[in-house]
Amino acid sequence: MTEMTQRFTLEELEKFAFDSLVAGGTKPENAAPLAKAITTAERDGITSHGLAYLPTYLEHVACGKVDGQAQPIVTVDNGVVMVDAKSGFAHPAIAAGFERLIEVARNNGVACLAVKNSYNAGTLGYHAETLASAGLLSLCFTNAPASIAPFGGTKAVIGTNPFALGVPDMNGGCALVIDQCSSVVAKSELFRHVQAGTAIPQGWALDANGQPTTDPAEGLKGTMVPSGGYKGFGVGLMVEVFAALMTGATLGLNASPFSGLVGGPPKTGQFFIAINPVLTGGAEIANRLKVIADAIDAQPGTQKPGDRERRARQKSQAEGVAVSGQLLEKIKNLAMPR
């Protein structure tokens, strides 16, 4: 009988994710960066983008929504790096682009990366932290299948479209990550509540008739609520400009869902801007940021972006990660060669 939970070290979890992806039809070079991102999300308590998403990845390789064998094509023109993900996973395409982006940004002061024909980029803050740890200030954008209606409307036009900021500590690490989507919550939160059989708070989603709902299943049939009303929709539209219009990727309006088995590859996009603080006169960026952070921490009850993730990270590194036996069995069954 399967145990209720099994505890993994982070190294064991990454190996399990990697082995499952390879067994499910993803080549090792593509599985490695995705397995690392899954483990990082799990480590930081972002479980919706951790191991819980692995069954979807495996199902999408099997049905052809993503090509686990794809070879990203990287080209560079002056300060612009471009990657065609070839309908493969976003993570290996982004990793391939970062190799050149980091080099160009360090030398030129600023560079950008455009990724097209891509897929779900997972936790965007993960990519922002990668660039920050390389000593670069980063702005990151990714579009998604349409799930947010314009303010006052009922038909989805853009996705939850997150953006992220990564600030380097100038010592090989990351001082700050801001990662937020354009909706009140990520759409994955609705899926999580459907699986748990629990209601969602009022104000997260609208049903198919544009009415507020606390039923996550009805919310999935309708639209997500933009964060801050019309301002949140504006932020999402900005992300769409960078991630889709600037890359040549598929608009959220036309992209197939990141969930389920319907439709072909979504072919969404990502856009990254990397800036070398040393060359812009911002070498003291981490020290100056600390002044702001200290002012926030001095006020009781406050929380900075990333504080929750840092606490989860410390706990995971010390205690490992508990995974339900049911999820493990599902992954193992999906990863079995057909």
Within a domain: residue 41? yes
pLDDT at position 2? 45
pTM recorded for the entire structure: 0.94
Domain containing 77 equals 71-183+226-305
Residue identified by tokens 């740890």 is 133
Q: Which of 14, 129, 189, 309 is catalytic?
A: 189
Within a domain: residue 315? yes
316 is catalytic: no
147 is catalytic: no
299 and 310 in a common domain = no
Within a domain: residue 311? yes
pLDDT tens column, 180-204: 999 888 888 888 888 888 999 999 9
E strand or H helix at 140: strand 137-142
Q: Which of 14, 20, 49, 193 is catalytic?
A: 49
pLDDT tens column, 79-91: 899 999 999 999 9
118 and 13 in a common domain = no
Whether residue 250 has pLDDT greater than 90: yes
Within a domain: residue 211? no
Within a domain: residue 151? yes
141 φ/ψ angles, rounded to the nearest 5 degrees: -135, 145
Q: Find all residues with CB under 8 Å of 75, minimum gap 6, and list them.
A: 81, 82, 83
Higher pLDDT, 3 or 59: 59
77 and 38 in a common domain = no
> CA 269, 242, 189: angle at the middle one, nearest 5?
60
Closest CA to 245 of 273, 269, 274: 269
139 and 43 in a common domain = no
pLDDT above 70 covers a percentage of the chain that reads: 99
DSSP string, 231-282: HHHHHHHHHHIIIIITTTPPPTTTPPPSSSS-SS---EEEEEEEE-HHHHT-
115 and 21 in a common domain = no
In the chain, the number of structural domains is 2
Within a domain: residue 201? no
48 is catalytic: yes
Whether residue 211 has pLDDT greater than 70: yes
pLDDT band at 92 (very low <50, low <70, confident <90, very high): very high
pLDDT band at 154 (very low <50, low <70, confident <90, very high): confident
Whether residue 225 has pLDDT greater than 70: yes
146 and 10 in a common domain = no
Query: What is the pLDDT of the chain when averaged over all its residues?
Result: 94
244 and 132 in a common domain = yes
Within a domain: residue 218? no
Domain at 281, CATH number: 3.30.1370.60
99 and 112 in a common domain = yes
Within a domain: residue 27? yes
pLDDT tens column, 27-50: 999 999 999 999 999 999 999 899
118 and 58 in a common domain = no
Report CA torsion sign: 219, 223, 227, 230: negative
Looking at the DSSP bridge assignments, the partners of residue 77 are: 80
99 and 57 in a common domain = no
Whether residue 3 has pLDDT greater than 70: no
Whether residue 329 has pLDDT greater than 60: yes
pLDDT at position 338? 58
87 and 59 in a common domain = no
Domain at 321, CATH number: 1.10.1530.10
Q: Which of 20, 48, 87, 256 is catalytic?
A: 48
15 φ/ψ angles, rounded to the nearest 5 degrees: -65, -40
237 and 338 in a common domain = no
Whether residue 312 has pLDDT greater than 50: yes
**Quick check: 95 and 103 in contact, CB under 8 A?**
no
